[in-house]
Chain A
Amino acid sequence: MSQEIFVAILATAITAGTPILYAALGEVLAERSGILNLGVEGMMLVGAVSGFICAYETANPWYGLVVAMLAGGMMALVHAFLTVTLRANQVVSGLALTMFGIGLSGYLGQSYVGLPLPAPFKIIPLPALSDIPVLGPVFFNHDPVVYLSYLLVPMLWFYIFHTRAGLQLRAVGENPAAADSMGINVFRARYFYVIVGGMLAGIGGAYLSLYYVPSWMDNMIAGRGWIAVALVIFATWNPANALWGSYLFGGIDALGFRLQTLNVTVSPYFLKMLPYIFTILVLILVTKRNLAGRIGSPQALGLPYDREER
């Protein structure tokens, strides 16, 4: 394989990994606060369709991105209300929201299917950095949303592990009763992080319809939301690991795409399976590692908190 193709595959890996990365970062925040959000897929879909409609009508992808963020946040608000206030089962609520998102996005996007986006995000090579051989074209020849994620990952990592607010976030997910007794508002924290998580999922979805494809198709997230959920475990709830994981999945995605153009005769159905087979493998490996060691999930993940309960 020539270097050119190699670089192209790596660059596509980053683009293909970015929507997963945004969703995974959002899920890291939600799960760190103790709320499992299985509605990511639905939130991405709603983000993708609402972002596309807005960007199509206004011819400005940035407006689309903001609307997608708000749409994802709205979906997450429903999840937070159900799971934090009503203490509903988080798995059921999340699955319901995913199903709801599939339906809603299909309905909203009916008359937009297949339309080309007049003004998608554009590639802006970073001056100087994009001239570095190999690394330049792989990492620094992208659109602004990718660059934004480069900033977001270290920021979130620092936030979670080195700030007072991050300590409180982790405390709420580990032992909400202890956090509550120390004067931390568990409900407010959970609402906040679930909604921010939903916003990030919305951005992830919109990235697909505003840049990667860029067009709206029914059910276009195609399981990336589920990959993001699995990836959070793989990343051990750490934003930095989520970065590598997302690009790994993006790479598999990109590889399948490139193999076709290289006339390698592999069934397209097999290629579509690849990321999900990998997801299952990763889950097996990570779960085994978790059983052996103490790198556990947040202890209160999935459990509703009730102050009066003893």
Chain B
Amino acid sequence: MNQPNLVELNNITKKFPGVTANDQVNFSVRPGEIHVLLGENGSGKSTLMSVLCGLYSPDAGDIIIRGTKMQFRSPRQAINAGIGMVHQHFKLIESFSVAENVILGDQSIPQVLKMHQIKNYLTKLSQRFGLQINPSAMVWQLSVGEKQRVEIVKMLYRGSQVLILDEPTAVLTPQETGELFRTLREMTATGRGIVVITHKMHEVMEIADRVTVLRRGRSVATLEKQQINQQDLAWLMVGQDILRQEKKKIPPGDKHVLELKNVHCLNDQGLPGLTDISFTVHSGEIFGIAGIAGSGQRELAEVIARLRPVSSGDVLINNQAITGCSPRQAIDHGVAMVPEDRLGTGLVPNMDAMDNLILKSYRNKSLRRGPFLNRTLTREKVNQLVSRFEIRLNAPDAPVKLLSGGNLQRLLLAREITSDPQLLIAVYPVRGLDIKATEAVHNLLLEQRSKGLAVLLISEDLEEIFKLSDRVGVLCDGRITGIRPADATGVEEIGLLMMDAQNQGETTI
């Protein structure tokens, strides 16, 4: 225990125009520990770690690496000091091989590259830590979990003593998460220090040796493993108690609001995107779609909203086929969608909140005055929506691209819910939102469910799916591998279905 700390951050302050992202934050990493950095979105976790890995320079405070005070002017200096960061959005070059990605920026190797030697070395290095990678594989061919391993190997190759992982489990299946945590444990055994940034409470309980909680740019507490419990952490993180609306046990209706019959479609590459999809969503039911990213979620949402042609099969709303309809006809049939890409597909970034809110209803006679829009009336209606859905607008006529993620999502939901839909498709509805905004969105969805709306919830977060859904359908590689009632199914089983492990198991046995 007498070894010096690998990293000590003392009184770090980092200001951006208008906000203090870090306000005198203290943080340290001991050799051989996993230190979890916990906080909501916007609490300053990423800023703090960007300071540590040399992307930002702090306005005040000291960075001390193994007892020596350092000043990083670039990521290179931090890497050379043994600080490695695995970013949430991988910094990999898709068209390069794994080996090329790993050696990128290494100035110590000879100018003329001997790829064969490099690959042999990487194979040995990755085996030492139980990380399965193929140095010759092209990165674009890898799964998300494999890409993450490449990122870790990249940092090990550069001799990182401190490894920072930004939301590492956001993109992984439960099985891959378990594997990652085992690898991290192995690395601590070699005396390395690991920082895991997360906002998921159960992960803290699972792997943390210590946890530091950030709230609004300040470090509010650093706790040892023995002192950790979920209630305290939640309270520290949010600073107030959260009201959770429990799923009411009203059984769903029996009206078939959405029905898919043997739907096939192609993806953007012209390959099969969805294969033989059949399921039904009832009124007053939340039907969750689980699956690894890229398993056909986007195609599914687009097929139902009629943004993507169906190659065979039928999509029915209230027993009427909408398979050949245009998106506008689908809207008229009562299909509403909160798309994955809020600013790209959901809203017009450069228009203000009012114009975005009436994007669907501007055709209503009530909002028109002859060929013109009745601006006075629309402004009134919009103001009602803004207060009902608690959308915080800085200026009413500012372009919506300046709004925060939570407000954007409330804006979208306000527009979609008030269009009186039969079916609401919600694609990753809380992605990138903090706890409070997430709760607000979830409560809205549950409220609409109890009013009889059918909801198709597409999410990568199993916790969210289990919390909201009545039934769960699992997508894997464009197929539904199983439909299960949410109450009587475990996370593990869904995880296996996500990888289609059952079918693969059958064929190999």
The residues of A with any CB-CB pair to B shorter than 8 Å are: 162-165, 167-168, 170-171, 174-175, 177-185, 294, 296, 299, 307
A163: nearest residue on chain B (CB-CB)? B111
- Residue in contact with B100 in the complex, picked from A165, A167, A181, A299, CB distance below 8 Å: A167
Q: Which residue of A lies closest to B112 (CB)?
A: A163
**Residue contact B105 to A296, C-beta cutoff 8 Å:** no
B85, B94, B107: the one contacting A299 at CB < 8 Å is B94
Contact with A along B81-125 (1 / 0, CB 8 A): 000010100011111100011011111011111000000000000
| B74 lies within 8 A of chain A by Cβ | yes
For the complex, would chain A's binding face be called helix, strand, loop or mixed by DSSP majority?
helix
Q: Which of A163, A184, A307 contacts B105, CB < 8 Å?
A: A184
A-B contact count (CB 8 A): 72
Q: A163-B113, A164-B113 are in contact. Are A170 and B96 (CB under 8 A)?
A: yes
Contact between chains at B104 and A168 (CB < 8 Å): yes
Q: Which of A165, A183, A185 has the most CB of B within 10 A?
A: A183
Q: Which of B80, B94, B103, B104 has most chain A Cβ within 10 Å? A: B104
- Chain B interface residues (CB < 8 Å from chain A): 55, 74-76, 79-80, 85, 87, 91-96, 100-101, 103-107, 109-113, 140, 154
Cα A290 to Cα B92 with chains together (Å):
22
Contact A168 B105 (CB under 8 A): yes
Contact flag A181-B75 (CB < 8 Å), given A162-B113, A163-B112, A167-B113: yes
Given A167-B100, A171-B104, A180-B75, verify A299-B112 contact (CB < 8 Å): no
For B79, list chain A residues within 8 Å (CB). Answer: 182-183
- What residues on B are CB-neighbors of A182 within 8 Å? 75-76, 79, 91, 104-105, 154
| Among candidates B104, B112, B113, B140, residue contacting A178 with C-beta atoms closer than 8 Å | B104
A1 to chain B, nearest CB (A): 44
Residues of A within 8 A of B95 (CB): 174, 294, 296, 299
Q: Which residues of A contact B154 (CB under 8 A)?
A: 182
Q: How far is the CA of A181 from the CA of B154 in the complex (A)?
A: 11
- 5 A-B residue pairs with Cβ-Cβ distance under 8 Å, sorted by A, are A163-B112, A164-B109, A167-B113, A182-B91, A183-B76
Ranked 10 nearest A-B pairs via Cβ: A183-B76, A182-B105, A178-B91, A183-B105, A181-B91, A174-B93, A175-B93, A182-B104, A184-B105, A164-B111
Which residues of B are found within 8 Å of A171, using beta-carbon distances? 93, 96, 104-105
Q: Are B74 and A181 in contact (CB under 8 A)?
A: no
- Write the nearest CB–CB distance from A104 to chain B, whole angstroms: 38
What is the chain B residue whose CB lies nearest that of A184? Answer: B105
Report the separation of the CA atoms of residues A185 and B75 in the bound assembly, to the nearest whole angstrom: 10
Inter-chain contacts of A163 with B (CB < 8 A): 111-113
Residue of A nearest to B53 (CB): A181
A170 and B103 CA atoms in complex are apart in Å by: 13
Chain A contacts for B100, CB-based, 8 A: 167
Which residues of chain A have C-beta atoms less than 8 A from B76's C-beta?
182-183
Q: Which chain B residue shows the least CB distance to A174?
A: B93
User: Are B55 and A167 in touch, CB under 8 angstroms?
Assistant: no
> How far does the alpha carbon of A164 sit from the alpha carbon of B75 in the complex, in Å?
19
Partner of A184, one of B55, B92, B104: B104
The residue of chain B having its C-beta at the shortest distance from the C-beta of A307 within the complex is B55
Chain B residue with Cβ nearest A165:
B111
Given A182-B79, A183-B105, A307-B55, check contact A175 B92 (CB 8 Å): yes
Q: Which residue of A lies closest to B87 (CB)?
A: A181
Q: Quick check: B85 and A181 within 8 Å, CB to CB? A: yes
Q: Which residues of B contact A174 (CB under 8 A)?
A: 93-96
- Chain A positions within 8 Å of B80 at CB level: 183
Contact in complex: A178, B75 (CB < 8 Å)? no
B214 to chain A, nearest CB (A): 19
Cβ-neighbour of B93 out of A164, A178, A296 (below 8 A)? A178
Q: How far is the CA of A247 from the CA of B334 in the complex (A)?
A: 61
Measured CA separation A299–B154 after assembly (Å): 21
Given A168-B104, A183-B76, A184-B104, residue A177 in contact with residue B91 (CB < 8 A): yes
CB <8 Å contact, A164 and B110: yes
Across the two chains, which residue of chain B brings its CB closest to A182? B105
**Distance A181 CA – B104 CA, assembled complex (angstroms):** 10
Most chain-A CB neighbours within 10 Å: which of B85, B100, B111? Answer: B111
Closest chain-B Cβ to A167's Cβ sits at a distance in Å of 6
B55 touches A178 (CB 8 A): no
> Which residue from chain A places its CB closest to the CB of B55 in the assembled complex?
A307
Q: Which residues of A contact B96 (CB under 8 A)?
A: 167, 170-171, 174
Tell me, in angstroms, the Cα distance from A183 to B75 when the chains sit together: 5
Bound together, the chains give a CA A37 to CA B330 distance in angstroms of 45
Looking at the assembled complex, report how far the CB atom of A156 sits from the nearest CB atom of chain B, in whole angstroms. Answer: 14
| Most chain A CB within a 10 A radius of its CB, from B80, B87, B91 | B91
B223 to chain A, nearest CB (A): 30
Interface centre among B87, B93, B101, B107 (most CB of A within 10 A): B93
Please give, as numbers and ranges, the residues of chain B lying within 8 Å of A165 by CB-CB distance: 111
Question: Are A162 and B112 also in contact (CB < 8 A) when A167-B100, A174-B93 are?
Answer: yes
Q: Return B43 CB to nearest CB of chain A, in Å.
A: 16
CA distance in complex: A227, B507 (Å): 55
The CB with the most chain A CB atoms within 10 A, among B74, B95, B103, is that of: B95
* A184 to B103 Cα, complex, angstroms: 12
Among residues of A, the one whose C-beta sits closest to the C-beta of B91 is A178
The contact of A167 among B75, B85, B87, B103, by CB within 8 Å, is: B103
Chain A residues with CB under 8 A of B111: 163-165
- Give chain A residues whose Cβ lies under 8 Å from the Cβ of B74: 183, 185
Known interface pairs A174-B94, A174-B96. Does A179 touch B104 (Cβ–Cβ under 8 Å)? yes
Bound-complex Cα distance A216 to B362 (A): 64
Residues of B within 8 A of A296 (CB): 95
How far in angstroms is the closest Cβ of chain B from A208? 34
* Complex Cα gap A165–B104 (Å): 9
Chain A residues, Cβ within 8 Å of B107: 164
Which residues of B are found within 8 Å of A167, using beta-carbon distances?
Answer: 96, 100, 103-104, 113
